[in-house]
Amino acid sequence: MSNKNLSLLFTGQGSQFAHMGIDFINKYDWAKKRYSISSEILGYDLLKVQSDPSLINLTQYSQPMIFVFSSIIIDLCKNYCLENFSNITLAGHSLGEYCALYFAGSLDFEEMLGVVKCRGDSMSIVSDPKKYVMYAILKKDDFKIDDNLFGEGVYIANFNSDKQVVICGIKDKVEKFREQNSIGKFIPLNVSAPFHSELMIKSAKIFSEKIENIFFKKIEFNLLSNHELINYRNIPENEYSNQLSLQIHSPVMWSDTIKTILNSEIDTFIEIGPKKTLLNFLPKDFEGNKYSFSSIKDIENV
């Protein structure tokens, strides 16, 4: 890597797995302490929850566990990124937006974990894998999105790329939609609620009330929000909480986010999170560098 333009991408829910973070705990005492502090803030043993198949995919647990894991990687690589790249653009997919704000220094670790906990708890009021479902759809090449296809319990949650969208909604209605619309390959996601749809409006309101006394610091990085690609750098810090609330019930405009970033002449992408997912949405003709930071080995290799 050299002194070029970098985009950092931060992974969201669905990337969690049972043993994530163990390699960092075994190598770094401060990482072990971070998990201990996190468990105190959350009110439960984070590592035990991660290893419980009945809990790991519930949003009130998966959101904090992904943020804590990502925060460790952020703290390991932040100085390196700042020293080796002259221009850094940030973007996070759903929960990843909070990791991006943490990298940018808008809140310290304990404060941001508290906000993430509020988000997970607020969204958990509609968290029920027996009632709701989300599917990624690998679209057929000739299929174009028609908004008239959706509604009445079926919603578009993510526009991930030109080839993939994510839908969500009430389980029986989504399953009926899947049977009636052969628009591509449907892949179930490891989440428990109809994220980024109007079914989350109540959760967004509760979240907004929970964090009304949180004071975010103004950031100096370009950070594109999932909600209408608004750049946090261009809005006052007292608007950050409202932006995060709107993000909960509006679609993730990820495809447009990547296109906007690429227009900034980005040379290198680094994805931070438990698994490599977002790099898969980059155009095949991107000729720059791509790195996934998901483990100690990944970081040491770079």
Locus of tokens 């299929």: 143
Q: In angstroms, rounded to a whole number, what is the distance separating the alpha carbons of residues 283 and 246?
A: 28
Q: What is the 8-class DSSP label of residue 231? A: B
103 close to 11: Cβ distance less than 8 angstroms: no
pTM of structure: 0.94
What is the residue extent of each domain of the chain?
4-127+197-301, 132-188
Query: Is 132-188 the same fold as 4-127+197-301?
Result: no
Q: Could you give the CA distance from residue 57 to residue 15 in angstroms, rounded to a whole number?
A: 10
Q: Shortest CA distance to 251 belongs to which of 146, 142, 168?
A: 168
Residues paired with 134 in a beta bridge: 168
- Residue 130: CB partners within 8 Å, gap ≥ 6? 171
State both tokens at 57. 């995919």
Question: Does residue 299 contact residue 77 with C-beta atoms inside 8 Å?
Answer: yes
Q: What is the CATH class of 132-188?
A: alpha beta
Please list the pLDDT of the chain residue by residue as tens digits (302 residues). Answer: 455 899 999 999 888 999 999 999 999 999 999 999 999 999 999 999 999 999 998 889 999 999 999 999 999 999 999 999 989 999 999 999 999 999 999 999 999 999 999 999 999 998 788 899 999 999 877 667 666 778 789 999 999 998 899 999 999 999 999 998 888 999 998 777 899 999 999 999 999 999 999 999 999 999 999 999 999 999 999 999 999 999 999 999 999 999 999 998 899 999 999 999 999 999 999 999 999 999 999 998 88
Best CA proximity match to 2, nearest among 83, 88, 73:
83
Q: Domain 4-127+197-301: which topology?
A: Malonyl-Coenzyme A Acyl Carrier Protein; domain 2 (3.40.366)
Surface-to-core class of residue 103, CB atoms within 10 Å of its CB (0-12 exposed, 13-18 middle, 19+ buried):
buried
Whole-angstrom distance, CA of residue 115 vs CA of residue 112: 5
